[in-house]
Amino acid sequence: MLTRITRIARVAASAVLACLALLPLATPSAQAATVPQTGWVRLAHLSPNTPAVDVYLYPFGNTTAQLVLKHVAYGTVSPYEPLDAGLYLVAMRAAGAGASTAPVISTNVTVAAGQAYTVAGLGPYSALTLKVLNDELGAPSGRAGIRVIEASLQAPDVTVTEGTENIATNLRFPGVTSYASVAAGSAEVRIATQTAAVTGQVTLAPGSTHTFAVLDGTGGAPKWLDLGDGAGDSSVPVGGVDTGFGGAAIPARGTVAGEAAWGALLLAGVVTALLAARRLRRG
């Protein structure tokens, strides 16, 4: 009796294995290959007279924050947070306030795959806004992109040059420019106010983008941050890559060799299954 059971079990197991050999034919053919579905969000406190805040980022509809930044003070920009494409809520609360207290300000952010955003508290405290800025991540071949955020109440009107390029002319607080296209490389940046000017060096990699944030400084002169936004390939190849010569290739469907190989495998699987079934009935 035991011998009969183990024999049945063995034959049944081989029948299952043989059927598994046929499985790939039953699976749906074209499985769509996917591309990365990640976007990026960074949070910025750029309101000169607004106290420090705690910043919360929620997947929309979720009561548990995916990201919490504590005690974010004026002039702070967080690193980019990678996020799955989708809808999110950003809320800013007074620093140290509990997670269930009413936010000072909040906004929705729709994150698309491959896109980046800066969610910035802008303007004076009395007229605080939370803006979602679309960040450009790349620039054309050999070029770089620069935009300016005017976040200084002490110097509420600035003119910004990079090398010989005008980036912003008489930009007033709390304005944000669109990106200017400049040549890549090293250059001097000059930020001129009504009364003073500050200068600094930047190196702009080809294909990179930058946001210059002008902030209140000390002694009446502003200071500025060079936020790296993104970088791409300085030249983009066309099409796919020819990296193979076929020495280890399996014959393709549609070729005689390929069909013969597939046919032989199929036959082996079917024969095995039939034989196994026959043995099971006899067993």
Partner 1 sequence: MRRSDRFSLVVLVLAGLGMAGLSGFGLAGDLRTAKPVTRTQSSSNAFSPYGQPASTVAPVPLASGEVGEPYPVSLSIPAIGVQTTLMTLGLTSTGALAVPTNTTQAGWFTGSPVPGNPGPSILAGHVDSTAGPAVFYKLSDLKPGDTIAVVLSDQSTVRFVVTMVESYAKTAFPTTSVYGPVPDAELRVITCGGAFSAGHYLNNVVVYATLESA
Q: Which residue has the tokens 């420090």?
A: 52
Radius of gyration of the chain (CA): 31
Q: Which residue has the tokens 């106010």?
A: 193
Q: Is 2 in the site for partner 1 (CB under 8 A)?
A: no
> Side chain identity at 194, as an amino acid letter?
Q
Nearer to partner 1, 105 or 231 (CB): 231
Structure tokens at 111: 């994150």
Nearest 5°: the CA angle 200, 46, 54 is 130
Question: Which DSSP string do the residues of 57-126 spell out, in sequence order?
Answer: EEETT-SS-SEEEEEE-TTEEPPPEEEESEEEEEEEEETT--TTSPPSEEEEEEEPTT-EEEEEEES-GG
Q: Which of 31, 195, 201, 218 binds partner 1 (CB under 8 A)?
A: 31
Site size toward partner 1, by CB under 8 A: 75
Contact segment (CB under 8 A) with partner 1 among 150-158, 163-171, 202-210, 218-226 equals 202-210
Contact segment (CB under 8 A) with partner 1 among 88-96, 132-140, 151-159, 187-195 equals 132-140
Contact segment (CB under 8 A) with partner 1 among 56-64, 168-176, 200-208, 214-222 equals 200-208
Q: Is 13 in the site for partner 1 (CB under 8 A)?
A: yes
Residue 240 near residue 72 (C-beta atoms within 8 A) = no
Q: Is 14 in the site for partner 1 (CB under 8 A)?
A: yes
Q: Is 225 in the site for partner 1 (CB under 8 A)?
A: no
What distance in Å separates the CA atoms of residue 280 and residue 9, rounded to the nearest whole number? Answer: 9
Residues 143-182 that bind partner 1 (CB under 8 A): none
Q: Is 220 in the site for partner 1 (CB under 8 A)?
A: no
Structure tokens at 239: 């099409």
Least distance to partner 1, CB of residue 49, Å: 29
Q: Which of 132, 205, 221, 225 binds partner 1 (CB under 8 A)?
A: 205
Residues 100-129 that bind partner 1 (CB under 8 A): 114, 116
Contact segment (CB under 8 A) with partner 1 among 16-24, 95-103, 126-134, 155-163 equals 16-24
Cβ neighbour number for residue 134 with a 10 Å cutoff:
11
Structure tokens at 216: 């209140």
Q: Which of 2, 35, 102, 256 binds partner 1 (CB under 8 A)?
A: 35
Q: Which residue has the tokens 């990179």?
A: 208
Residues 51-80 that bind partner 1 (CB under 8 A): 80
Q: Which residue, 90, 212, 200, is CA-closest to 144?
A: 212
Contact segment (CB under 8 A) with partner 1 among 4-12, 44-52, 95-103, 126-134 equals 4-12
Q: Which of 20, 73, 87, 197 binds partner 1 (CB under 8 A)?
A: 20
Task: Fill in the DSSP letter of residue 10.
Answer: H
Least distance to partner 1, CB of residue 77, Å: 12
